[in-house]
Structure 1
Amino acid sequence: MIKNLKAPLQQFYKFHRSFSTDTSSITHAPNLSNITQGSRTQFTGLVATVFGATGFTGRYLVQLLARTGIQVVIPYRGEDASFRDLKVLGELGQIIPMRYDIRNDDSIERAVSHSNIVINLVSRQYETRNFTFDDINIKAASKIAQISKNNAEKFVHVSALNASENSESQWSKTKAIGEKLVREINPNCTVIRPGLIFGDEDRLINKWSKITQFWPFIPRYNQDLKFQPLHCFDLASAILAVLELPNTNGKVYELGGNEIFTWKEFQDLIIEGTAQTDKLNIPVSLDFMKPVSQAIELLSRDPPFIKDELEYLNQDLLVNTGALTLSDLNVKPTPIQEKLIRLSRMYRPGKFFNAIANPQNK
């Protein structure tokens, strides 16, 4: 009996070792056309390294990549808990966490050494004691592009909509400079410029819902400026489409939803969704909000208002005419109303919690 099991067990151990977290087990496939032919249970031979996978939008991208049978390397710099929720998105050995230091070239090279695909999602809305905007948006972005240039067949760099070197926002300025350097280093890279992103754990619907619930008043500023909210899963789907479709190398895509809102219209939707119709609304100027945001940044670990972010948002964030968009990637935008009620209802008064529409009249 034991002798009969010996050969199957050897095959099992051989299979198990092939999915070891050691990157030496990763194979390098030369053909990206395998993406559309794969599934979660069928390894296509493709490997993708996703920098910034532990962030807000990273988990949706990892899910889509794993679903198509791509092995995903997740560089991380925090605790092991930062990638724990990503491990279950793929089969055994399909999601490979790897500790790295963005200032250490060897750790970056190790993370991309076996990858056909490299995607840079790394960003931060505010500076910390460890990293400045220049460190993340310029130095790190150009370093990742340089090190992965010779290995990756597809390199996707995520920038920001309407980022400008002339912006008053340091985040916007460094995003624009970083994008420029990445394109100079790797002219074949694909650049994604997303607008404001909404979804679970976002800094749009959740942020304004919290303000509407907890603040003594709702600050109304920049009411006439417009933006096109983009769902986080649509961004992930667009990046996957960039990998699947031919002739996307070297192109720039500007991504926004198919709905345009003014900030006044959006805040009205939040008020309806949270049923906070009795909350005081006060029109304020941007000059008033800047010192307020600076004070909040000193007092809060997760400030709802950031002075530099206010500078970036002080413009219309719309997809430019003639730009390549979601439609060019065959991605259908998700309307914000489909998600807003579900996300904002957690901030309603108890008596309105189960209301579906027009909660203030229930």
Structure 2
Amino acid sequence: MTLSNEPKLITVFGGSGFVGRYVVSALAKRGYNVRVAVRRPDLAGFLQPLGNVGQIVAIQANLRNRASVDRAVKGSDHVINLVGILFESGRNNFDSVQHFGAQAVAEACRAEGIGLTHMSAIGADSAGQSDYASSKGLAEEAVRKIVPDATIIRPSIIFGPEDGFFNKFGEMARFSPALPLVGGGETRFQPVYVGDVAEVVARSVDRTIESGKTWELGGPEVLSFKQCLELLLQIIGRRRFFMPIPFWAAGILGKIMQNVPFIEPALTQDQVVLLRKDNVVSDEAQADGRTLSGLGIEATTLEAILPSYLVRFRPAGQFTKDLIA
């Protein structure tokens, strides 16, 4: 799809991340020129084949550096902010990245008089007990105040070839005889495919969805934490025990893991707090049609996508014949 002979310029903060690469691809296919604002442009070369020559350009920007944010936004026709972190590391903490960083992007958009699409998360709550959720909630409030017609997108956990959920537990299942169930594995998720999320983001740029609203994105199935892992084991053809871990014990374990230097924690204390609440599309969003189905998008199922990238965790990879039914 080509919009014009002179495609508009879209700046994407966090465009080299998991969701970002799919958003950049969706924009390029629509004919937009894409400016990808990332901390390390030299590591974003893999995005180039997603578009035509010169269509996708990576530039340096850091949400903690306001001047770099203003420079990245300058001359754009629309901005997308996908930057988010799951755990804090050094100066990259929830407040600086997810709250004040989002505020800086919104202020830059207001100065340029352009539209903004902001990626948040289901469960965002400025008064939430989780630092992650509260910073996401404060970011939403700041964005809505500064750019009232901004489009805010709240997905449940996102799955796809580069995801950090199914891949993490798939890797764990290769070596561990048991998989952990924080809180007994009763927390409910509504996993949504990364391609569906990217489509909604691209539509917000097209202006084919109503701006100024908060959209909640979830897949066609609501599954408990335990059911997600059961599906994983079925697909990769492995039998593993489940080890229920009470929230209080998981909190202690997370605190220890997050303080181990130079290692990405498998679990943090804040993530344990997040797991105390279900991560599903709200009844209000369903009633208002602020969902994938409300946009006429048929949500992609887990079964349609997971086997395509979890095959590497099977005992003999693609040559594994007998999978657990």
The superposition leaves residues 16-71 of structure 1 with CA deviations (integer Å, 9 ceiling, x where unpaired) of: xxxxxxxxxxxxxxxxxxxxx517xx654311000010111100000111111101
Asked if the contact 1:43–1:69 (Cα under 8 Å) also holds between the matched residues in 2, the reply is: no
Greater Cα offset, 257-266 or 283-292:
283-292
> TM-score scaled to structure 2, two decimals?
0.92
Structure 1 residues 330, 240: CA separation in 2 closer, same or farther (over 3 Å shift)? farther
Structure 1 partner of 2:92: 131
Residue 308 of structure 1 deviates from its aligned partner by: 1.2
1:304 CA drift (Å): 2.2
- Count of aligned pairs between the two proteins: 319
The reply on whether 1:53 has 2:15 as its aligned counterpart is yes
Structure 2 residue aligned with 1:258, among 216, 220, 227?
A: 220
Q: Deviations over 1:89-114 (max 9, x none)?
A: 11121112111232333322221111
2:203–2:209: 8 Å Cα contact kept in structure 1?
no
Q: Of 121, 127, 137, which aligns to 1:160?
A: 121
1:244 equivalenced with 2:210 (yes/no): no
**Can you give the 5+ residue segments of structure 1 that lack an aligned partner in the other structure?**
1-36
**Alignment match, 1:33:** none
When structure 1 is superposed on structure 2, of 241-250 and 336-345 the one drifting more is 241-250
Please give the alpha-carbon distance, in whole angstroms, between the structure 1 residues aligned to 2:157 and 2:89.
22
Counterpart of 2:109 in structure 1 is: 148
- Percent of aligned pairs sharing the same letter: 29
Partner of 2:300: 334
1:110-149: CA deviation from partner (whole Å, max 9, x where unpaired)? 2111111100001111111121110001111001100111
Q: 1:158 deviation in Å?
A: 0.7
Q: In the aligned structure 1, how far is the partner of 2:177 from the partner of 2:256?
A: 17
User: What are the equivalent positions in structure 2 for 1:1-362 lying under 5 Å apart?
Assistant: 38=2, 43-78=5-40, 80-81=42-43, 83-222=44-183, 223-246=185-208, 248-277=210-239, 279-297=240-258, 298=260, 301-323=263-285, 324-350=290-316, 353-355=318-320, 359-360=323-324
The letter of the residue matching 1:343 is: Y
Q: Report the Cα distance in structure 2 between the residues aligned to 1:79 and 1:153, rounded to whole angstroms.
A: 24
Q: Distance in 2 between matches of 1:227 and 1:305?
A: 17
Task: Look up the match of 1:4.
Answer: none
Contact 2:74 2:112 in 1 (8 A): yes
Contact 2:63-2:102 at 8 Å conserved across structures: no
CA contact (8 A) 2:234 2:324 kept: yes
Task: Measure the CA separation in 1 of the matches of 2:92 and 2:276.
Answer: 24
Q: Bigger shift: 330-339 or 174-183?
A: 330-339
Give the deviation of 1:221 after TM superposition: 2.9
SS of residue matched to 1:328: helix
2 CA distance for matches of 1:348 and 1:201?
17
Contact 1:212 1:274 in 2 (8 A): no
- C-alpha displacement of 1:281: 2.2
Q: CA RMSD in A?
A: 2.0
Deviation at 1:162, TM superposition (A): 1.6
Residue aligned with 2:87, SS = coil
Q: 1:104 to 1:218 in 2, by over 3 A?
A: closer
Larger radius of gyration: 1
SS at match of 2:196: helix
**Alignment partners' CA distance in 1, 2:153 and 2:38:** 22
